[in-house]
Structure 1
């Protein structure tokens, strides 16, 4: 088994596509017109986003690192080489909801900021995360 994709409801598909293309390196991979609805697929490597137009009323804007509601995704997460470089590139499009925060006490060099995409989805943008070694994980068994 392997991960397939995340489907996102969009107020403005074009704005959402431009955001993920410009700041996260996605490219258009497929467009499907299904029963009068245009669905846009964006790809970056193995990651795939499926963009749906949505006329539904938007959910209340999430804050901090995302909604804590069970059954609702808290946030999407991306790794970058440098959070500050990402923020400089995004400029006014980086609607920060939390951070940047440093987590050096857990992982030296781990830094994260949370931003809101054009549709209100919270994105975690981090640098420096690494997995624990199998030996380190044994303490949690």
Structure 2
């Protein structure tokens, strides 16, 4: 068996989002999800903005491409595409009350008590149509089992 390189510790870095209106997308994630601007890089007429919430980062890119079809529901189903971004909250109803009609709901809220008592989720869309899940009550199985073969 050939030698394998030593494992390098990896940690999550960020998700990159293409934006029609970078300012509107930044405001959405700052207002509804608690992100703050960590850095902005000016690229002539365009820019890249990094948003941070704790250890989670979003990298926002100005995009001039034609938007694809709206996903809706819990996100696009095509292989090779990101289905949705997801956030946890302790109080889904408080999020929904605060957001009111300012944040479009694409699906839900739904309850998943048959899997985990108290698990509730809603899917909303950002200004560019990216589906964002907001969930309350999800818990891992105990104990967490690694995938087979590891």
Distance 2:37 2:99 in 1: 20
Q: What residue ranges of structure 1 are gaps of 5+ in the alignment?
A: none
Of residues 30, 41, 50, the one that matches 2:39 is 30
**Bigger radius of gyration, 1 or 2?**
2
Residue 133 of structure 1 aligns with which residue? 142
TM score, norm. by length of structure 2: 0.87
Alignment of 1:1-141 (within 5 A): 1-34=10-43, 36-134=45-143, 137=145
Aligned alpha-carbon RMSD (Å): 1.6
| 1:37 positional shift | 2.7
Distance 2:86 2:65 in 1: 25
Q: How many residues align?
A: 139
Identify, as 1 or 2, the structure richer in helix.
1
Distance 1:33 1:14 in 2: 14
Q: What residue ranges of structure 2 are gaps of 5+ in the alignment?
A: 1-9
Cα displacement string for residues 61-110 of structure 1 (whole angstroms, at most 9, x for unaligned residues): 01210000010000000001111111111122221111100001111110
